[in-house]
Amino acid sequence: MSAHSRRRRLAWAAAFVALFALVQTALWTAYYAYGAKPLIGDEQSYQDFALAILAGGTWMPSTIWPPLQPLLMAAVYAIAGVNIAIVQIVQTLLLIACAALLRTLWRRLGGSVAAANTAAALFLLNPATAAFAQWLWPEVTHLTLVLAAFCLLTGTVTRTRVLLAGISVGLALLTKSLLAAFWPLFLLTFVRERPLRLLALPASLFLLGIALVTAPALWHGYREYGTPMIADSSVYNVWVGLTDRWRSDYVSDMGGETLPAFLTSADTPKQRNAIYWEKVHQLIEERGFARVSVDQLGRQYFRLFSAKTPLVSQLPGPACAGHLSVYKTPDWLTWFLTSGNDAFHILILAAAAFGVACWRRYADRRLLLIALYVAYQLAVLLLVHVKARFLLPIMPFLCAFAGTFLVSLRERAPRGIAPAATHPIAGPLSFTPLRVGIGAALATLLLFFAFAGPALDGLCAG
């Protein structure tokens, strides 16, 4: 490596460290300097569950929320004392681990070192993503486990790695139930062609890893409710997803309004689900399948890709637009965090759209598995109740494609050559007019989802 290259890398590293410190300082200042931000929604439930476990209560405190997040919090409290800041520090370390795993994964899937570094930097520097480490939702824990499983399954297949991948997936299922219908697709990793066959031993070890960590919870569900279950909020979330009205979070929030009625509707999860499945069927019969489908398409992805992220939603602002104002930040800090949120949101969504459209290495089965994972998320979130925070499981892969696109542009910029079919960029991207046009259309659509929702809903009108 030349001296010039070393200096350039050191300059980029120093810039990243400075920006990371700035974002973290702003977030910690916002959370604590003007009075600690109160817990909202499910955060309070996870805190209550953790304290109950710490006091000797059951380790499976809910039939709605999986147990790993409160167990992790209780373990932290048992070691360091009951202090939310300690959990926030642990989750910040997990967030950094997510970035490291993303970097490793993207290098294996064909991204350059610069692209992988850029993807990790986008992930960590985005204030909307970094803020997740300070909230008690299980999103960061879940994402760490999912990325660990992908990394373990995309490397050299060994018995230890496969078993650990199964354990990671099992723990992810104990953190959030979102993977419940997807995890069997991880078995595609063990399918080999010529002749087509399943590698039985690795697949068995993978399943064993899942079974080892989920069996106690499944047995608990069977013993208490007659059904082997970890936690089940699927029917509840379908019902709320079909009855949501707005394209933004925290505007007449149906989730909070509906949950008490759901929990008191019957004594067991099976009975509650039966009651609410009947309500779902009646709603679809009354509205018609076509109208329900149009309603979902016209609302769900606005909620998912909204630039009014959980961070912006909690900052000061008009309640009619879904601002909770639980942060007591002054105007300058509110402006700084909101501006950083919007800038990174635009950059990541737009650059990812071009990165996906211009990507030309589609044959890799490992990349296919990630594509199926993203498609699964989008399919599920077309139906169930959507919060903007549900974008986080997809965010690392948006950052990966965005990083590849941005690095490709940077590498061509000194030559003064516009990306075109006659001047393809070396690497995983191909800038043909068709691909660039598709990227522009996809970027426009994603940014429309990100910013048009409040205007379409007419929030705060009058």
- In this predicted model, what pLDDT tens digit does every residue of 372-397 receive, in sequence order? 999 999 999 999 999 999 999 999 99
| Percent share of the chain, pLDDT over 70 | 95
**Letter for the amino acid at 391?**
L
Q: Which residue has the higher pLDDT, 32 or 269?
A: 32
8-state DSSP, 135 = S
Lowest mean pLDDT among 108-112, 128-132, 166-170, 334-338: 108-112
Per-residue pLDDT, 156: 83
pLDDT at 259 over 60: yes
Span 243-257, pLDDT tens digits: 999 999 999 877 777
pLDDT of amino acid 417: 43
Alpha-carbon gap, residue 402 to 353, rounded angstroms: 7
Instruction: Convert the pLDDT of each residue in 297-349 to its tens digit.
Output: 999 999 999 999 999 999 999 999 999 999 999 999 999 999 999 999 999 99
Give the separation between CA 185 and CA 372, rounded to whole angstroms: 8
What is the rounded CA–CA span in Å between residue 179 and residue 188? 15
Higher pLDDT among residues 361 and 238, named by residue: 238
430 SS3 class = coil
Place 421 in a pLDDT band, splitting at 50, 70 and 90: very low
Residue 424, pLDDT > 80, answer no
* Averaged pLDDT of the chain: 91
Per-residue pLDDT, 9: 85
The type of residue at 432 is T
Q: Any long-range contacts for 426-429 (C-beta under 8 Å, 24+ apart)?
A: 427/112, 428/110, 428/111, 428/359, 428/360, 428/361, 428/404, 429/355, 429/358, 429/359, 429/360, 429/404, 429/405
pLDDT band at 410 (very low <50, low <70, confident <90, very high): confident
Q: Which segments within 46-200 are labelled E, that is strand?
A: 191-192, 197-198
- What does residue 232 show for φ and ψ, rounded to 5 degrees? -140, 105
Whole-number Cα distances in Å, 448 to 302, 308, 445:
8, 13, 5
Give the mean model confidence (pLDDT) for residues 206-228: 93
Distance, in Å, from the CA atom of 166 to the CA atom of 149, rounded to the nearest integer, reads 7
pTM, rounded to two decimals: 0.93
pLDDT at position 178 is 86
pLDDT in tens, 156-175: 889 999 999 999 999 999 99
**φ, ψ dihedrals at 197, nearest 5°:** -160, 160
pLDDT at 192: 82
Band of residue 224 on the pLDDT scale cut at 50, 70, 90: confident
pLDDT score at 422? 39
Question: What does the pLDDT read at residue 333?
Answer: 98
Q: What is the pLDDT of residue 114?
A: 93
What is the domain partition of the chain in residue ranges?
13-457
- 163 vs 191: which has the higher pLDDT: 163
Which residues have CB under 8 Å from 376's CB, separation 6+?
181, 182, 185
Q: What is the pLDDT of residue 2?
A: 76
pLDDT at position 423 is 41
In the numeric block, which tokens belong to residue 94? Answer: 């997990």
pLDDT at residue 285 tops 50 = yes
Q: What is the pLDDT of residue 308?
A: 97
CA–CA gap between residue 237 and residue 416 (Å, rounded): 51
- Residues ≥6 apart with Cβ < 8 Å to 102: 116, 119, 120, 123, 147, 396, 399, 400
> Could you give the CA distance from residue 4 to residue 1 in angstroms, rounded to a whole number?
8
Of 143, 95, 128, residue with least CA distance to 347: 128
